[in-house]
Amino acid sequence: MNRPNIIERQVLKKITPAKKDRMKLEKTITALIKKVNENLIKHQQKASIELVGSTAKDTYLKDNLDIDLFIIYPPIEPEEKIAQTTLQIGRNILNDTEECYAEHPYIRGDFLGFKAELVPCYQITDASEKISAVDRTPLHTKYVKKHLEEKQKQDVRLLKQFLTGVGCYGAEAEIQGFSGYLCELLIIKFHSFHNLLSHVKKWKKGIKITLTDHPIPDFKDPLVFIDPVDKDRNVAAAVVLQTFQRFITASNDYLHQPKETFFFPKQTKPWSLHQIKKTLNKQEATYIGIKFEKPKIIKENLYPQIRKACTAIQKQSTEEEFSIYDIRFYIDNKSNLIYIIIKTSEKPLSETFTHRGPPIKLKKNTKEFIEKWKDNPATVKPPVQQNGRTFVAVKREYRYLKNYLQDNLPLFSLGKHLDAIVSNKYEILSLNELIKPDLQMFWTSYLKDKKPWEQ
């Protein structure tokens, strides 16, 4: 037996549900379906119930599973009615509920100690009939159950745990990685965990994979895997370039030197504040932080807004000629705060800058430009004409990024919920104010810059 097989056998012992786990889960699913049916009768609603996801396909991990029940309604029912019926049923039978609104409304909560989701969808037989994206999910379940061999279920489990360990598992906005369905399709396509990794290490950005004979649409994503039940959909659309590249690196490293830390990385020990400060002070740059309250919205909506905010801050600051070397964010769930941390130059911008006007041949525009700037208080020198254009030297309003952000952050488009928070209150922090216990784990991970399996 070679070393990878020894490691993988040990991993499978930890992640494969035992017989008693399966029996408990099956009883819970039966009880939940019964409760949902009773509530459908009370609502005088005709609908079928289908178990989907990893529990239906027996590819779930022992300590990481959700019971996903789809309530399948006839297409003649109004969308608002099926949504409200499902939400009301969820409120009646689940505890600690959370109502979620993405493309479709659904509800999740606790049922007898298990995480459960109730999702409304319409009955379809082909993806072309879908009214919303979730309508095809039962088709995904049927496809995997038909094409995934019994022995390959363990390969799917290994792949899911491997991706979890290297930080790439999950299509949700927080991770931007590989969904469970994508994992199952990858094993169906490449037959085994090892064979998949052998192919992955050779992948290049833009690789296209399919299980059917349909032409592949011109997707621009780093990884393209055509949905076998919907030829116009890329199952890997959630996978961003950073996650894609990390999976390639991890696959290559694992095949070269397999270790259990790829599946179960060691917990990062935080650096001391003294070590963090010492390391940061050695850099030829400085850091500025933005701190504000976390809005009360679900992760699926929160993470895209924070990323949008980072993009807007970088874009606006760069247009003002400030140097942004890096921009990251950290969510402190204990204090319900968000930190956006910017790596920038220590040096202030020059006191003046040259503002370029229109080409001289555009006489009207040139005249307006000269009129605007010749007596402007910010003008350092009168407008001059060189190389067919008009230029003027102007005094900068902001030389320090911290001052610029302090005065202008509420004017940026950061996202609906973040705009509301920032318009009320935010703080701009200097480097010394960022070296604090709340940010120890952020700084440790950022400065160590080690991959999870290298810890």
Beta strands 114-122 and 67-73, pairing class: parallel
Is the residue at 44 inside a domain? yes
Whether residue 40 is found in the same domain as residue 172: no
Per-residue pLDDT, 2: 53
- In-domain check, residue 114: yes
Of 234, 262, 290, the residue that ends a domain is 262
CATH number at residue 71: 3.30.460.10
Q: Tokens for 41, please give them.
A: 């009768």
Residues 250 and 290 in one domain: no
Q: Domain range spanning residue 440?
A: 273-348+399-454
Q: Does 287 share its domain with 388?
A: no
- Within this chain, do residues 278 and 189 fall inside the same structural domain, yes or no? no
Identify whether residues 29 and 164 lie together within a single domain.
no
Residue 267: inside a domain, yes or no? no
Other C-beta atoms within 10 Å of 40: how many? Answer: 19
Token pair of 372, please? 């605007």
Residue where one domain finishes, among candidates 128, 146, 164: 146
Spatial CA neighbour of 40 closest among 85, 81, 83, 79: 85
Are 192 and 299 within one domain? no
Same-domain pairing of 286 and 329: yes
- Same-domain check for residues 17 and 115: yes
CATH number at residue 214: 1.10.1410.30
| Confidence (pLDDT) at 1 | 43
Residues 24 and 108 occupy one common structural domain:
yes
Evaluate whether residue 369 is within a structural domain.
yes
Domain boundary among 242, 262, 282: 262
Q: How many domains is the chain partitioned into structurally?
A: 4
> How far apart, in whole angstroms, are the C-alpha atoms of residue 275 and residue 286?
16
Domain contains 218: yes
In a domain, residue 268? The reply is: no
Is residue 199 located within the same domain as residue 237? yes
Residues 155 and 210 in one domain: yes
pLDDT at 127: 87
Q: Is the dihedral of CA 310, 311, 313, 318 positive or negative?
A: positive
Examine the domain organization and report whether 212 and 127 are in the same domain. Answer: no
Span 319-371, pLDDT tens digits: 999 999 999 999 999 999 999 999 999 899 999 888 888 888 888 888 888 88
Burial (Cβ within 10 Å: 0-12, 13-18, ≥19) of residue 437: exposed
Indicate whether this model's pTM tops 0.85: yes
pLDDT at 298: 84
40 falls within a domain: yes
* CATH number for the domain harbouring residue 336: 3.30.70.590
State which residues of the chain have pLDDT below 50. Answer: 1
